[in-house]
Chain A
Amino acid sequence: MHEMSLAEGVLQLVEDTARREGARRVKLVVLEIGRLSSVEPEALKFCFEAVTHGSIAAGAALDIVDVPGAGWCLPCAATVPLQEIYGACPNCGSHQVQPTAGTEMRVREIEID
């Protein structure tokens, strides 16, 4: 259940920003969660609702932008789509693929009043 820690991390960033901007409330939080990251989006949504109760972000909508995985395949010398962190290259089947996208877990932006 480290999604609870991550939800707390999101709330911290949101609260810091909202305070700095003098916001009355937060209406929307936009996250970027890569498909190769260690986050389960459904669990994160559940935890986000739990941790934002009573905060400036209470009731805020959560928009999770799904970032597809990609990696650099050494044998192919090309960027290939990647479904899993240890997945094989879809072209040559090699496992020598360095993930280049899809590992991010970021708070992109928030909408405030």
Chain B
Amino acid sequence: MCTVCGCGAGETKIEGHEHAHVHADGTVHSHPHGHGDDHHHEHGIGGDLDFGAGPARAHVPGMSQSRMVQIEQDILSKNNAYAAANRKWFDERGIFALNLVSSPGSGKTTLLCRTIELLKDKVGIVVVEGDQQTANDAERIRATGVPALQINTGKGCHLDGHMVGHAIERLQPADESLFLIENVGNLVCPAAFDLGEHHKVAILSVTEGEDKPLKYPDMFRAADVMLLNKCDLLPYLEFDADLAEANARRVNPDLTVLRVSATTGEGMAAWTDWIESGLEAQRGKHGATVDALKARIADLERQLAAR
């Protein structure tokens, strides 16, 4: 169990890969929360210290062996390092990676299946499916004919950069392909965890509330694209699509919003066009990487020849 996915140590299962992945320091202790014995440290913190004014700033060296050590690091730095490594790996190979996030039931898997049907003849696709339990979603994706890997997070509420790193190893996506990640259905936690994707894509369905972007702003702020799904149902609902869009833009003025129906295929062309332009940009990066590598090889050969 890696430390970034601390929730539910030992619970994460990568499909077909049931190794006991227990880091020595990654164990979550589930002791009962007994206040009685938790606060027996001798630190004279009780009455002296108000939040924001730690006692250590008044520490006199030599008076005690205690000392302050500056850390100044982001709590998520470990996850961010895994994510950055994933992103570099994708960029070097011209792979375009998307992280799909939404509430449970917004139609992410159906949307993915439809997207795959539309694109699989043009580009290589692999899918990572995140759920607490079952491999049902990965099986649905595999039925479309593309490779899929299920990650079960157990008690965890989100995928993290480390899990996706393992998924990359397992799936070995081809150069210049599309890497799709369906995150755990949850509008809160996945917002904070970078996986190394190029864009988060939030999916909101018209059977939810128009105010969801206001209720869960972190996710809609973290996303670059919002797909308003199940638009074929609009005639039967009181859902105000314009209001939903306005709410989403209030949280994130730069958000690209596309109205789609994964069931009827309405609006899907705009979505696949958007993906194809992303793939094109990644192909450009791949070309640049290959050129740089060729230049490096030529340079090394020149050095060898000169010896």
Contact = CB atoms under 8 A, between A and B. Distances in A.
Nearest to A97: B253
Contacts of B253: 95-96
Interface residues of A, number: 52
Interface in A74-113: 84-86, 95-96, 104-113
Nearest to B52: A65
Interface in A40-76: 46, 49-51, 53-55, 59-61, 63-66
Nearest to A29: B71
Interface residues of B, number: 59
A55 B218 CA distance: 32
A21 B52 CA distance: 24
B217 A113 contact: no
B31 A53 contact: yes
Contact of B73 (A6, A50, A86, A107): A107
Interface string B202-231: 000000000000100110010000000000
Nearest to B214: A86
A55 B25 CA distance: 9
A105 B75 contact: yes
B307 interface: no
B29 A50 contact: yes
B188 A38 contact: yes
Contact of A112 (B69, B75, B77, B156): B69
A73 B4 CA distance: 34
Nearest to B42: A27
Interface in B46-67: 49, 51-52, 54-56, 59, 65-67
A11 B3 contact: yes
Query: Which of A27, A30, A49, A65 has the largest count of B CB atoms less than 10 A from its CB?
Result: A27
A5 B25 contact: no
B30 A5 contact: no
B73 to A, nearest CB: 5
A38 B6 contact: no
B66 A38 contact: no
A64 B38 contact: no
A4 B51 contact: no
Given A1-B7, A61-B45, A12 B52 contact: no
A113 B56 CA distance: 12
Interface stretch (B13-21, B189-197, B286-294): B189-197
A51 B6 contact: yes
Contact of B3 (A2, A9, A53): A9
A63 B4 contact: no
Given A12-B25, A17-B69, A107-B75, A4 B45 contact: no
Contacts of A53: 29, 31
Q: Which 3 A-B pairs have the closest CB atoms?
A: A8-B6, A2-B189, A4-B7
Interface of A: 1-2, 4-15, 17-18, 21, 23, 27-28, 30-31, 38, 46, 49-51, 53-55, 59-61, 63-66, 84-86, 95-96, 104-113
27 contacts: A2-B158, A4-B6, A5-B160, A5-B193, A8-B26, A11-B25, A13-B73, A17-B71, A27-B42, A28-B55, A28-B56, A38-B191, A49-B33, A49-B38, A54-B29, A63-B54, A85-B217, A86-B251, A104-B74, A105-B74, A105-B75, A105-B76, A106-B72, A106-B73, A108-B70, A109-B54, A111-B66
